[in-house]
Structure formats: structure tokens, C-alpha cells
Structure 1
Amino acid sequence: MWALSMLSALAGNTTIMAILAALAGGIGLFVAGGISRANKDTARRAAEKLAAAQDRLEMDREATDAERAARDLPDEAARREAMRWARH
């Protein structure tokens, strides 16, 4: 019974209710900020993975072009071209 009267007294006290509301709001903002940070981090990682995949695709295209060009070269010229690409 005393707990009910205590809760009743707290609910009637506007200062305590304002403090509790501020705490609840602060906790809500903290949680929302954490979710926002997590979403930004996920988006950043996805963008990095996409950029890496695009770089690999471009390197594969360049290598394929070089391989096609090297097929028509004599052996010594093909070796020189391969060594040039190996240094990259």
C-alpha cells in the first residue's frame, strides 16, 4: 500500500515528473543516435566494398585487354609485356 501512495506522490510532483521525462528523452536520443551511427557505419562499409569491387573489375578488364594484345605478340615481346604488368 505504501508503494501506491509513493507512486501517487511522485506522479503529483511536477519537478520529479519533469526530471523523469528528461531522463527518458535523453535515453531515447542516445539509443536513436546509436542506431543512426550504426546505419552510417554500415553504409560506409558497403560503399567501400562497392569501390573495391569496381577497382577489381577495372583491373580485370585491363588485364584482359593486355592478354588479348599479348596473344598477337612474338614470344620476346610478350615476355616484356608480361614483365611490365608484373611490376604493377
Structure 2
Amino acid sequence: VDCAFWAVEKITGVKLVCRDYTVRSATLGRDAQGEATLEVEHQGQVYRGRGISTDTVEATIKALLNAVNRIELLQTGDDLGTAD
């Protein structure tokens, strides 16, 4: 998981400090989905991310990218839901 944080920082150029990280089972059974939730700090502000996958590392990466997307959205002020 530490490598996932490092890789996302390196690829995106967004420096993150992990404040909270949790993985739990979101479904039951052999192909159970794991849900990763996290809080990261970037430039003094806290952002949350969430990811789901059968692979906990993949769920973590999805949660990290979810948080990075929130950071980018708030910093650029873009509204991704509108078309020009």
C-alpha cells in the first residue's frame, strides 16, 4: 500500500499525507469486494477518497485517485459535469 501512495504521488505530482486509511469487506463471499476509504492532506486541506475492488491494493489506488481528482477539481474550479 505504501508503494501505491508513492506511485500515485510520482505519477500525478500531487503530494499527499495520509491522515486515515481503512479497508473493509463491502460484500461477502469468495469474490468479496473490498472498500478502501482514506483521508489525505494536501496543502493543509483534507480530502477523502473511496475505492472498491476485489483486490485491496487496487481499491486503495482507486481511493487515492478519487482523492486526487477531488484535489484537482477544487484547484482548477472545473465543473466536469457541464459541456461547452
TM-score, normalization by structure 1: 0.28
Higher-helix-fraction structure: 1
TM-score, normalization by structure 2: 0.29
The higher relative CO (CA closer than 8 Å, separation ≥ 6) is in 2
Largest Rg, 1 or 2: 1
Higher-strand-fraction structure: 2
